[in-house]
A = this chain, B = another copy of it.
Amino acid sequence: MRLIVARCSVDYSGRLNTHLPLATRLIMIKADGTVAFHRDIQHAPLNWMSPPCTLTVEQPDEESASAGVIEHWRVTHAKTGDALLVRIYEVLHDSAHELGVDPGLQKDGVEADLQRLLAEQVDVIDPRATLVRREFPTAIGPVDLLLRNPDGGTIAVEVKRRGDIDGVEQLTRYLELLNRDPHLAPVAGVFAAQEIKPQAKVLAGDRGIRCVILDYEGMKGTESGAPRLF
């Protein structure tokens, strides 16, 4: 990885056009060809180019040179034709480092974990409900959980980490479809998430969909095979 601190301006042309005025920034050039421009706040780069791309250094034209530009860096994407033109005015730091391969990030607590835990603890939804299956297939995609409703029919559960309006729309489409199946109807809907946004709660209410807030840490605490003591 090469780290350069430089006064520069950057023009991007691709899916849109952008311009970064002259300022001092960190330029990262990674081993896979990635080029990224960082300011001194926030963690996202202001601009970047993803691999596969190539960087070529050019002498500035006369106009640029007279404006103080010492080099032009042209970064071109090999496939899409997206292009960056970097005007380098001054290099304040330039170092290179061998990082090697990174073993990558291990995660726990994403949506897949929530769904797995909830499938093992469907009593969180309804103490008398039983699991029919996870990822119940339909023509428009799998329903996260399908439960047998002790009061008759079934319950379709949509699991999200954060519940917004899109999730309610998605569950609504599943419910329309599932309710046409006489083996399953009537199908009740449950929207289960660690957090549900107000608009989503309102829309769910309008459509007769019940909302359930999930406590991941609590559910994880009861995950172990041992049943609760009391």
Chain A positions within 8 Å of B, measured between CB atoms, are 1, 3, 5, 15-21, 23-26, 28, 30-32, 34, 36, 38-43, 45-48, 50-51, 92-93, 95, 97-110, 166, 169
Provide the residues of chain B in CB contact with A23, threshold 8 Å.
99-103
Q: Specify which of B15, B19, B34 is in contact with A41 (CB 8 Å cutoff).
A: B34
- The answer for the CA separation of A34 and B44 in the assembled complex, in Å, is 10
Provide the residues of chain B in CB contact with A36, threshold 8 Å.
43
Q: Quick check: B99 and A25 within 8 Å, CB to CB?
A: yes
Q: Quick check: B100 and A40 within 8 Å, CB to CB?
A: yes
- The answer for the CA separation of A31 and B25 in the assembled complex, in Å, is 12
Q: Quick check: B102 and A16 within 8 Å, CB to CB?
A: no
Q: Specify which of B18, B25, B28, B103 is in contact with A108 (CB 8 Å cutoff).
A: B18
8 contacts between A and B (CB under 8 A): A16-B110, A19-B105, A23-B99, A24-B100, A28-B38, A31-B40, A34-B42, A166-B169
Which residue of chain B lies nearest to A28 when distances are taken between CB atoms in the complex?
Answer: B38
> A43-B34, A47-B105, A104-B46 in contact; A3/B26 too (CB < 8 A)?
yes
- The answer for the CA separation of A140 and B45 in the assembled complex, in Å, is 34
> A92-B97, A169-B169 in contact; A39/B107 too (CB < 8 A)?
no
- The answer for the CA separation of A29 and B102 in the assembled complex, in Å, is 20
> Shortest 8 CB-CB distances between A and B: which pairs?
A16-B109, A39-B102, A40-B99, A31-B40, A32-B41, A19-B106, A21-B103, A36-B43
Q: Specify which of B25, B30, B107, B169 is in contact with A42 (CB 8 Å cutoff).
A: B30
Provide the residues of chain B in CB contact with A95, threshold 8 Å.
93, 95
> A3-B3, A25-B102, A26-B97 in contact; A43/B50 too (CB < 8 A)?
yes
